[in-house]
Structure 1
Amino acid sequence: MARTEYYDDPDAPEPNSMVVAASAVVTDDRGRVLLQRRRDNDLWALPGGGMDLGESLPGAAVREVREETGLDVEITGLVGTYTDPRHIIEYSDGEVRRQFNVCFTARVVGGALAISDESTELRFVEPAEIGSLPMHHTQRLRLQHFLEFRPRPYLG
């Protein structure tokens, strides 16, 4: 399924759903950040996705990281909340969503990197390399906030 992201675009389609989602900045012992190249839009992104009924947001982040990367993680903190109404995501199946995303920090506690059907590539990336990767600016904003080592989570 293809995915198109719009930001502050007057030609963006009208949303027909609101999705609560979680993402995670997973780092290794060298300070590199785990990123996936998404199959649906060919952009680099943090692992994450929608919360299922009956699970917590941290639980959703742990599940999504496992599903998308093969790694088991433990949540260690909070980067921030991302609720910008100017960000619209359109899928080829007709869903047009606004997304409420909570971005956590996490560390690896097990598993092994494995590409899922949602990605074409996975790798731990040096922070200095992140700026050169093709990435939607909403993902880049989360990473920027993480790399700023803010004393408090971003609330936006």
Structure 2
Amino acid sequence: MSGRITAVGEGVDPGRIGTPVTALTTGGARAEVVLAPVALSLDIGSVPPRTAAGPGRGAPTAYDLINTAARVRPGESVLIHAAAGSVGTLAAQFARLAGAGRITGVAGSARRALALVAEGTVRVDVSAECSREGLATAVQRLAGGATHGKGVLRIA
């Protein structure tokens, strides 16, 4: 489900009231008002609520990958595998919200990459055969060459 926070419980910052979120609930997600744990209520920024609610657990997974596992910070570059899938498309949006400087996606086909290219959020590599060797070459090409000794900071 998604919507705006209308009230908060004890120990939750009242400044969150009005914040657009997607939330996981154990039931009642189609109701007009639901009670959701703060840990499962994720800010969605400018992502349309209908989009954020659509993938079910995809949104929290994408959010967690970008903000908890990878800890993306402003200006960092992000590579998203399966960027045209439900988790991948949301991960790109959450990376943008986290301030990523460059977001690169790998998609398995031109058809899957079309929406990403049209949106302009992600630089896309279309690779029908994602072998380990081919992927390494694609990543270097998208990054503009070798990593110049920077290496990989985090893998989520």
- Greater strand share, structure number: 1
Q: Normalising by structure 1, report the TM-score.
A: 0.26
Length-normalised TM-score, structure 2: 0.26
Structure with the greater alpha carbon radius of gyration: 2
